[in-house]
């Protein structure tokens, strides 16, 4: 959590009785994600596919831990501690490159001071989710470079229990909703066990300083800033540079890697629910831009990826 958000939370600890403004509800949601321990079940819908998931969010002296496990369909499990995220398909955990958000925290604001310039935030009505009263918060973008959100925050604790991502046509492209939540879970149970061990053994990508960045994006939509730069081993153990951008709600990843043997795979576009990806060739590298933003935003960024120095481009010759 940034120092600005921490300072805001220190000055404004909002109770349910006084949270009458939309910005205050965003603060409550952020505070709940940082301080609450809970366990529950939720449904996740993306691209017409529905998954039932079990989640544990544990806050203790060593930090914030998250465990998410699918209870139907192909087996998948996600474990996170702080900024480290590992995912398992079929039991073997591996570091998830570039991840800083996990499912139900992905829409929480990280840069609250810029939010009003990018989104219109208003209060909706009150509805029940997971048999609990919630406050609806409407988050609408001021331009076409990002999606909007509708958020349902539990009125007593402030926890985000439901979120819907909405495209420019007003259609829901991705959503999740808790059906059960328990604020007093068994933190010593089987589902909670082994979180630290998973993170420590799965490996992680290496953080790179701004002085080591070999790639830049020359044109970004308003509000998007570079949050991190990392390098990890991709397919065939070749290095993949990863640049992560965010406007406080939406995140965009830029992956730069050596060209694959099959050059026909360089140019392509994919979309699953709210997650889109475009791939092209830049300076003899394969560049993929991925994020929960409209396709126009992804293409704008792909066409703006440049090597920092001409030497980078020559390396691919």
pLDDT digits (tens, 9 = 90+) for 35-94: 999 999 999 998 888 999 999 998 888 888 888 999 998 888 888 876 677 777 666 656
Within 10 Å of residue 258's Cβ, how many Cβ atoms? 15
**Residues in the chain, how many?**
317
- Report residue 98's pLDDT band, with 50, 70 and 90 as the boundaries: very low
3-state secondary structure of 197: helix
E strands, the chain, are 38-46, 49-60, 63-70, 77-81, 84-88, 93-95, 119-129, 132-141, 148-154, 160-166, 172-182, 206-207, 215-217, 225-233, 239-246, 251-258, 268-272, 275-282, 285-291, 305-307
Judge: domain 206-315, CATH 3.40.50.300: no
**168: buried, middle or exposed (CB in 10 Å: 19+, 13-18, 0-12)?**
middle
Q: Which residues contact 315 (CB under 8 A, 6 or more apart)?
A: 284
Half-sphere exposure of 22 (CA within 13 A, CB side): 20
Q: How far is CA 160 from CA 104, 192, 270, in A?
A: 7, 21, 29
Taking the domain 3-202, which CATH number applies?
A: 2.50.20.10
- Do the beta carbons of residue 102 and residue 80 sit within 8 Å? yes
284: alpha, beta or left, given left = phi > 0 and alpha = psi -120 to 50? left
Q: What is the mean pLDDT of the chain?
A: 79
C-alpha distances out from residue 128 to 19, 135, 139, 177, Å: 18, 9, 19, 11
Q: How confident is the model at residue 306 (pLDDT cuts 50, 70, 90)?
A: very high
CA distance 158 to 30: 8
Instruction: Give, in degrees to the nearest 5, the angle at Cα 161 between 160 and 162.
Output: 100
User: Where in the chain are the domains?
Assistant: 3-202, 206-315
Question: By mean pLDDT, which of 173-177, 253-257, 271-275, 278-282 is the weakest?
Answer: 271-275
| Predicted confidence (pLDDT) per residue in 189-237, tens digit | 655 665 555 555 444 444 554 446 789 999 999 999 998 888 876 566 6
| Prediction pTM value | 0.78
Q: Could you write out the three-class secondary structure of 13-57?
A: CCCCCCCCCHHHHHHHHHHHHHHCCEEEEEEEEECCEEEEEEEEE
- Give pLDDT, residue 308: 87
């Amino acid at each position: 959590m940034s120092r600005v958000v921490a300072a805001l939370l220190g000055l404004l600890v909002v109770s349910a009785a006084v949270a009458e403004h939309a910005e205050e509800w965003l603060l409550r949601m952020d505070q709940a994600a940082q301080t609450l321990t809970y366990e529950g079940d939720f449904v996740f819908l993306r691209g017409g596919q529905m998954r039932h998931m079990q989640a544990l969010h544990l806050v203790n002296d060593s930090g914030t831990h998250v465990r998410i496990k699918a209870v139907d369909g192909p087996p998948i499990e996600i474990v996170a501690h702080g900024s480290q995220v590992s995912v398992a398909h079929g039991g073997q955990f591996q570091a998830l490159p570039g991840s800083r958000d996990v499912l139900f925290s992905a829409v929480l604001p990280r840069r609250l001071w810029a939010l009003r310039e990018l989104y219109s935030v208003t209060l909706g009505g009150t509805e029940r989710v997971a048999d609990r009263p919630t406050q609806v918060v409407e988050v609408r973008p001021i331009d076409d470079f990002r999606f909007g959100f509708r958020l349902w925050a539990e009125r007593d604790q402030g926890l985000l229990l439901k979120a819907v991502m909405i495209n420019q046509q007003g259609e829901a492209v991705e959503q999740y909703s808790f059906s059960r939540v328990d604020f007093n879970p068994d933190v010593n149970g089987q589902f909670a066990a082994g979180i630290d061990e998973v993170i420590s053994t799965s490996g992680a990508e290496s953080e790179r300083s701004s002085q080591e960045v070999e790639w830049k994006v020359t044109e970004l939509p308003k509000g998007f800033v570079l949050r991190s730069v990392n390098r990890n081993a991709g397919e065939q153990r070749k290095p993949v540079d990863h640049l992560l951008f965010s406007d406080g709600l939406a995140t965009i990843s830029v992956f730069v890697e050596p060209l694959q043997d099959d050059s026909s795979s360089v140019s392509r576009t994919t979309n699953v629910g709210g997650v889109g990806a475009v791939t092209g060739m830049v300076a003899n590298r394969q560049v993929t831009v991925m994020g929960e933003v409209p396709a126009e935003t992804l293409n704008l960024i792909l066409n703006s990826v440049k090597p920092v120095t001409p030497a980078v481009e020559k390396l691919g010759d």
